[in-house]
Structure 1
Amino acid sequence: MIIEFRCEREPARLWMCRETLPVNGKDVPIRITWIPTAEPRPAGLEALFELERMVLRHGQSGGADRLKDIPEHSQAPAGAADVIVDFTRAERNTDCSARLYLRPLFNGAAGENAALAAIRAGDLPVVEIVNELDGTVIDRGHPSGEIATGLSGALEAVMTRTLTMLTAILSGAPRILPQLTPAASGGTARGSAAYVAHGLAASIAKEIYRLCCYAPHWHVGWRYSETADVWRTGDLSGPDWKVLRDPGYRFYADPFPVKWQGRTFVFFEELDHRVGKGIISAVEFDCNGPVGNVQPVLEEPWHLSYPFLIEDNGELWMIPESTAQRDVAIYKCIRFPDKWERHCTLFSGFELADVTITQHNGLYYLFGAWRDGTGGYSDTLAIFYAENLFGPWLPHASNPVLIDRASARPAGNFVTINGKLWRPVQDCSNGYGAALGLAEVLELSPTTFRQVVRHLLKPGPAWTGRKLHTLNRCGQLEVIDGSRVQPKTTPFLSGLLSTPRSSQWEWHSAAAAKPVARRVQ
C-alpha cells in the first residue's frame, strides 16, 4: 500500500512529518506531496505559536509548531498512490488512480484555516473524513481539548484525532458514523492574537488559582432513595445529596458501592494533593450513612483511580484505572474490604481509562477511554469482548467505535432498566468532568454499537459544585462525585486542630453546604 499525504508547504507542521502510519499493526510508509499554500495563514500566527510554546508549553514543541526543515523521507515509496489524504483546500486531481481519496473536513470545511477558525470561535470542530471519489462521509468525530494548551495545542488535538480516524479507516475497521452537531460558537472567530492573549490571561489566572487552592478537588456525594433515583427521573432531584467529608488536602472521587458478605462499602479514589498520586480507599455504609473509618485498601507505586468492581464466580474483583502503568490489571479480593492481590493483566502496552464491564447476550463487554499516546483522554471509546472475565479479550470490529468528547468516556456501572441497557458517560464538551450523560445502548455486539444520550446531568441546585463525572448505585444507595473550590488554608487550619485521619468520614448535606459553596466560588 502506498499512502500519500497532500500538504501545504508553508507552514509545515510536526504532525505532517511522519514516515509511516500504523495500519493493521504494520507501519506503512507515507509519501508527502507538497503543494503551494492556497490561503495565507492569519498574520503573526507562527509568532503567536512560538509565544505559546515558551509561556504555556514551557519550551516544549507541539504538533502545531512550524518546522524549519522537513526531512526528506528516505524510503518514501515510488509509484501511484493507493490512498491519498488531502489536508488542503485544493481541487482534487481527477486523473489520479487512487482507490481512496480522503479529505478531512473541520465543521464542514477543508484546510488548516477551517480548523483554526472553529477553534478561534470558541470550540474544537467536528472532524469528518470524506471520500471525494463518491462524496461519502466515512468517519466523524469530535475531539476533546482537556489537555490542549492554547491555540497551537487545540490545533494539535484536532489533527491528532484526525490521524486516529485515518488509521482506523485505512485498517479496514468498519466505521460507525455517529450524528454529531458542531457546538455553537457563540459568535464569529476572534483574531488569533486576541485568542492567544485570552489564553495567556486564563493560564495566569489558573496558576494564581492553583497557588491559592487545591485543584481539582473532587468530593463524593451520596443519598438513599427508594424510587426517585437518577436513572428514572433523568435528573439529580429527589432526596438531598450528602457529602462525604474529606480533610481538605486529600480528595475523594470515582465512588463505586458494593454489598459483599452482608456489608456495604463505597470504594473510591483518594488522592493526597501533596503527593499527587491516587490510591483506592473505602468506607462502610449502614442504613444511615457512613460508619467507621475511611481506610486505604489498595496502593501501588503508580497512580490508581476508578475502582471498578465486579462479582464473578462467587468472587469479588477490582479493575482500578492504571493508565500511568499503561496496563489493565484485575485484582482479587482476598479479605473484604482491605486486602486485594493482583491476579493478572488483561491488557498491557496502551492507555485504557475507566474500564467498565457488562455482560450482554452471553458475552462480557469491556468499555474504556482509549488514548493512543497523544490527543485527549476523554474522546475515544474502545470496546473489547470475551467469553469470560479473564479473556482472551478481542477488539470490537470498529475500534475505536466512537470519537466524541460528549459520550465516549465511561462514568460508572452499566444498569438495566425494563430490559434496556444503559451506561453513564462523561460529557467533556465544556471541559473534563463538566457534566454526565445517561446513554441508552441500542445495539451492542462484536461488530455493532449504537447508543443515544437521553439525559444530561449538570451541577446545579440539587448538587452544588463545579463538576460531575461518576454515577453508581447499590440497592437504595446512590453515589456521585463532583468538584469544589478548596482553599489551601482549610487543610492548614484542619492541621492546627489535629483532626485524626480516622474521623474524617464526617458528612453534611449538600443543601447545608450551599452558602459556603457560593462564598468560595
Structure 2
Amino acid sequence: MIIEFRCDREQARLWMRRETLRVNDQDIPVQFAWTTTPGSHPAGLEALFELERIVLRKGKAGGADRLKTIPERPRAGSPDVVVDFTSAARDPKCSAKLYLRPRFNGCAGENAALAAVLAGDLPVIEIVNELDGTIMDRGHPSAEIAAGLSGGLEAVMARTLSMLTPILSGAPRLVPQLAAPANSGAAPNPTPFVVRGVATSIAKEIYRLCCYAPHWHVGWRYAENADVWRTGDLSGPAWNVLGDPGNRFYADPFPVTWQGRTFVFFEDLDHRIGKGIISAIEFDGNGPVGKVLPVLEEPWHLSYPFLIENDGELWMIPESTAHRDVPLYKCIRFPDKWERHATLLSGLELADVTITQHDGLYYMFGAWRDGTGGYSDTLAIYYAERLLGPWRPHASNPVLMDRATARPAGNFVAVDGRLWRPVQDCTNGYGAALGLAEVLELSPTTYRQAVRHLLKPGPLWTGRKLHTLNRCGQLEVIDGSRVQPKTAALLASLRSSDRPSQSDWHSALAKPIARRLH
C-alpha cells in the first residue's frame, strides 16, 4: 500500500514530519505531495504561534510549529490512498482507490480548523471518501491539554491522524452522529484570540500560585431509593463532603463491601509532590469512621481504583497510564494490602479502566490515547472470556471519539434489565459534567450507546466539576472540585497529624514563586 499525504507548502507544520502510519500492526511509509492552495492565510499567524511557543509552552516545540525545511522524500509511485489536508479541488486524474479528505465542521483545510478554534471550540472532524461522498468516521476531540491557538490546531491534527489508522486498517467504523456548528471556513484575525490566550495563561499561573488546582473532593450519601440512576439527577438526600487535609485531594471514589465491612477507595493526591496513591476509609452505615488509610502506592501516579469481585477474590485495577499498562492487583488483606498479580494489557495509555460482564464475556472500557491529543475523547474496548484474559481488541477500536461520551466515569449499572454506564462529559473542560449513557448494543464487533441524562454541578452539588459516580448498597458516592487556597491548606495541615515540615512550606510556597520569577 502506498499512502500519500497532500499538504499545502504554506502550511507545512511539524505534525507533517510523520514518516509512517501504523496499519494492521505494520508501519506503512507515507509519501508527501506538496501543493500551493489558492486563498489567503491569516496575517501574522506564524508570529503569533511563535509567541505562544515562548509564553504558553515555555519554548517547547509543538505540532503546529512551522517546518523550517520541507522534507522532499522520493515518491514510491502512484498512491493507493490519498489523504488530502488541503482545501483544493480533487485532481480528477488521480487513480487512488481511496481519496480521504478531513473536514472540520464541514469544511476542508487548515483555515477551517483555525476558524473553529478561533470561534472558541475544537471542530467536529469528519473523514470523507471523496470518491463516493461516504463519511468514513466522525469525532469530536477534547482540548484539556491544548494551549492557545497553536495547541488547538495541534490537538485537532493529532486526532485527525488517530482517525486515519482504523479506517486504513479496514476496521468497521461505528460513525457517531455529532452536531457540528456552522463554519464559514475562513479564519478571522487571530491576534485578539492569542492575546486573550496569553492573558488567560497569566491569570491561570497566578491562580495556581495562590491555590491548589484542581482540588477534587468526594461526596457521599445514603440514597435508599432516590439514587442518581433512578432519578436521573442529583436530587434526593443531601450530599456530604468527605473531609481532606487541604494539601491533598480525594477523587475517583469506589465503594465496596467485603468481609462484612464497607470501604470507599479513592485517589489520594498530595499537591506538594503531584503524585497520587490509592487510599481508603471505612463507612459504618451512618458515614465515615476512623482515619484515611493508604492502601497502594507505586513509583508512578495511581488513580481511579476500579474494584471487581471474581472467583471469590477482590481485585483492583488502578489507572496507571504513566506506566503505560493495565495492571491487576489482588487483595491479600482487606483493605490495606494489595499485590500486583498480572498485567492485563501493556504498552498503551488506557485511562479509567472499567469492566462489565455481558452475554458471557468480560468487556473492558477505557479512555485511549496514542501519545498525542487529548486524554478524554477516545473510547477503546477490549473483551475476554476470563478476567485474567487474554484480552482482545474490539473490532472497531478505537470505538468512539467524542469528548462528551467517551471517558468512563464509574461502574456499569443494570437497572430493570438495561445496562448503563456513567460517562465524563468534557465538552466544557475535563470533568465538567457527567452523563448517564444506556448501552444499546455490545459485542466484540458492535457498540452503541445513548446518553439519557446529563448531571452538572449546581445547587444540589456545589463545586466546579463532577466526573465520577458509584454505589454500593445504599451508599452513593460522587466527586467534584473546589477552589482550595494554599494558605488555608497549610493552616489546616498544621492542625492535622500530617504536619508539614519547614521544607514542606518551602516546597508549597517558595518554589512556585521562584519558578515564576525565573
TM-score range, shorter chain: over 0.9
- Structure 1 position 35 matched with structure 2 position 31: no
- Indicate conservation of the 8 Å contact 2:247/2:493, yes or no: no
Which residue number corresponds to residue 58 of structure 1? 58
Report the alpha carbon displacement of residue 3 of structure 1 after superposing the two structures with TM. Answer: 0.5
Which residue number corresponds to residue 125 of structure 2? 127
Which residue number corresponds to residue 369 of structure 1? 367
Aligned positions, number: 497
- Indicate conservation of the 8 Å contact 2:42/2:187, yes or no: no
- Indicate conservation of the 8 Å contact 2:267/2:305, yes or no: yes
Report the alpha carbon displacement of residue 191 of structure 1 after superposing the two structures with TM. Answer: 2.6
Amino acid across the alignment from 2:46: E
- Give, in whole Å, the separation in 2 of the partners of 1:236 and 1:183: 30
- Indicate conservation of the 8 Å contact 2:118/2:187, yes or no: yes
CA root-mean-square deviation? 1.3
- Give, in whole Å, the separation in 2 of the partners of 1:378 and 1:496: 36
Report the alpha carbon displacement of residue 71 of structure 1 after superposing the two structures with TM. Answer: 2.4
- Indicate conservation of the 8 Å contact 1:30/1:77, yes or no: no
- Give, in whole Å, the separation in 2 of the partners of 1:459 and 1:468: 6
- Give, in whole Å, the separation in 2 of the partners of 1:289 and 1:190: 55
- Indicate conservation of the 8 Å contact 1:122/1:189, yes or no: no
Match of 1:337 among 335, 345, 349: 335
Tell me whether 238-247 or 176-185 shows the greater mean CA deviation. Answer: 176-185
Task: Kindly report which structure 2 residues correspond to 1:224-235, keeping only aligned pairs within 5 A, or say none.
Answer: 224-235=222-233
- Give, in whole Å, the separation in 2 of the partners of 1:252 and 1:332: 23
Match of 2:395 among 388, 394, 397: 397
- Give, in whole Å, the separation in 2 of the partners of 1:113 and 1:78: 30
- Give, in whole Å, the separation in 2 of the partners of 1:190 and 1:18: 29
Which residue number corresponds to residue 297 of structure 2? 299
- Indicate conservation of the 8 Å contact 1:29/1:77, yes or no: no
- Give, in whole Å, the separation in 2 of the partners of 1:294 and 1:379: 33
Which residue number corresponds to residue 81 of structure 2? 83
Task: Kindly report which structure 2 residues correspond to 1:134-173, keeping only aligned pairs within 5 A, or say none.
Answer: 134-173=132-171
Report the alpha carbon displacement of residue 40 of structure 1 after superposing the two structures with TM. Answer: 1.9
Report the alpha carbon displacement of residue 72 of structure 1 after superposing the two structures with TM. Answer: 2.4
- Structure 1 position 500 matched with structure 2 position 466: no
Amino acid across the alignment from 1:349: G
Which residue number corresponds to residue 202 of structure 1? 200
Task: Kindly report which structure 2 residues correspond to 1:219-258, keeping only aligned pairs within 5 A, or say none.
Answer: 219-258=217-256
- Give, in whole Å, the separation in 2 of the partners of 1:464 and 1:384: 36
Report the alpha carbon displacement of residue 93 of structure 1 after superposing the two structures with TM. Answer: 1.3
- Indicate conservation of the 8 Å contact 2:220/2:239, yes or no: yes
- Structure 1 position 310 matched with structure 2 position 308: yes
- Indicate conservation of the 8 Å contact 1:435/1:459, yes or no: yes
Over residues 214-273 of structure 1, what are the superposed CA-to-partner deviations in whole Å (9 max), with x where a residue is unaligned? Answer: 000000000001111101111101100000010000000000000001110000000000
Over residues 305-343 of structure 1, what are the superposed CA-to-partner deviations in whole Å (9 max), with x where a residue is unaligned? Answer: 000000000000000000001111000000000000000
Secondary structure of 1:377's match?
coil
- Give, in whole Å, the separation in 2 of the partners of 1:104 and 1:40: 20
Report the alpha carbon displacement of residue 501 of structure 1 after superposing the two structures with TM. Answer: 4.7
Percent identical: 78
Report the alpha carbon displacement of residue 37 of structure 1 after superposing the two structures with TM. Answer: 2.7
Structure 1: gaps spanning 5 or more residues? 503-521
Report the alpha carbon displacement of residue 182 of structure 1 after superposing the two structures with TM. Answer: 2.1
Which residue number corresponds to residue 69 of structure 2? 69
Report the alpha carbon displacement of residue 31 of structure 1 after superposing the two structures with TM. Answer: 1.0
Which residue number corresponds to residue 450 of structure 1? 448
Which residue number corresponds to residue 99 of structure 1? 97
Report the alpha carbon displacement of residue 79 of structure 1 after superposing the two structures with TM. Answer: 1.9
Amino acid across the alignment from 1:244: L
Which residue number corresponds to residue 383 of structure 1? 381
Amino acid across the alignment from 2:43: A
Secondary structure of 1:399's match?
coil
Report the alpha carbon displacement of residue 78 of structure 1 after superposing the two structures with TM. Answer: 2.2
- Indicate conservation of the 8 Å contact 1:2/1:77, yes or no: no
Secondary structure of 2:214's match?
coil
Over residues 159-180 of structure 1, what are the superposed CA-to-partner deviations in whole Å (9 max), with x where a residue is unaligned? Answer: 0000000111001111101011
Which residue number corresponds to residue 274 of structure 1? 272
Secondary structure of 2:379's match?
strand
- Give, in whole Å, the separation in 2 of the partners of 1:269 and 1:5: 43
- Indicate conservation of the 8 Å contact 1:49/1:151, yes or no: yes
Over residues 5-58 of structure 1, what are the superposed CA-to-partner deviations in whole Å (9 max), with x where a residue is unaligned? Answer: 111011201111221111111111111101113222100000000000000011
- Give, in whole Å, the separation in 1 of the partners of 2:188 and 2:283: 52
Secondary structure of 1:484's match?
strand
Amino acid across the alignment from 2:2: I
- Give, in whole Å, the separation in 1 of the partners of 2:143 and 2:124: 12
Report the alpha carbon displacement of residue 61 of structure 1 after superposing the two structures with TM. Answer: 1.0
- Indicate conservation of the 8 Å contact 1:123/1:183, yes or no: no
Amino acid across the alignment from 1:60: K
Structure 2: gaps spanning 5 or more residues? 500-518
Amino acid across the alignment from 1:7: C
- Indicate conservation of the 8 Å contact 1:6/1:32, yes or no: yes
Secondary structure of 1:461's match?
coil
Secondary structure of 1:485's match?
strand
Which residue number corresponds to residue 507 of structure 1? none
Amino acid across the alignment from 1:310: I
Which residue number corresponds to residue 5 of structure 1? 5
Over residues 192-233 of structure 1, what are the superposed CA-to-partner deviations in whole Å (9 max), with x where a residue is unaligned? Answer: 001101110110000000010000000000000111110111
Report the alpha carbon displacement of residue 500 of structure 1 after superposing the two structures with TM. Answer: 2.1
Secondary structure of 2:308's match?
strand
Which residue number corresponds to residue 506 of structure 1? none
Which residue number corresponds to residue 214 of structure 1? 212
- Give, in whole Å, the separation in 2 of the partners of 1:246 and 1:344: 32
Over residues 69-125 of structure 1, what are the superposed CA-to-partner deviations in whole Å (9 max), with x where a residue is unaligned? Answer: 02222xx44221100101111111112211100000000000000000011001000
- Give, in whole Å, the separation in 1 of the partners of 2:396 and 2:39: 36
TM-score (norm 1): 0.94
- Give, in whole Å, the separation in 2 of the partners of 1:118 and 1:330: 41
Secondary structure of 1:113's match?
helix
Report the alpha carbon displacement of residue 350 of structure 1 after superposing the two structures with TM. Answer: 1.0
Over residues 418-454 of structure 1, what are the superposed CA-to-partner deviations in whole Å (9 max), with x where a residue is unaligned? Answer: 1111000000011100000000000000000000011
TM-score (norm 2): 0.94
- Indicate conservation of the 8 Å contact 2:344/2:389, yes or no: yes
Which residue number corresponds to residue 428 of structure 1? 426
Secondary structure of 2:11's match?
coil
- Indicate conservation of the 8 Å contact 1:308/1:318, yes or no: yes
Using a 3 Å threshold, how does the CA distance of structure 1 residues 477 and 36 change in structure 2: closer, same or farther?
same
Which residue number corresponds to residue 503 of structure 2? none
Amino acid across the alignment from 2:497: P
Report the alpha carbon displacement of residue 190 of structure 1 after superposing the two structures with TM. Answer: 5.6
- Give, in whole Å, the separation in 2 of the partners of 1:88 and 1:308: 44
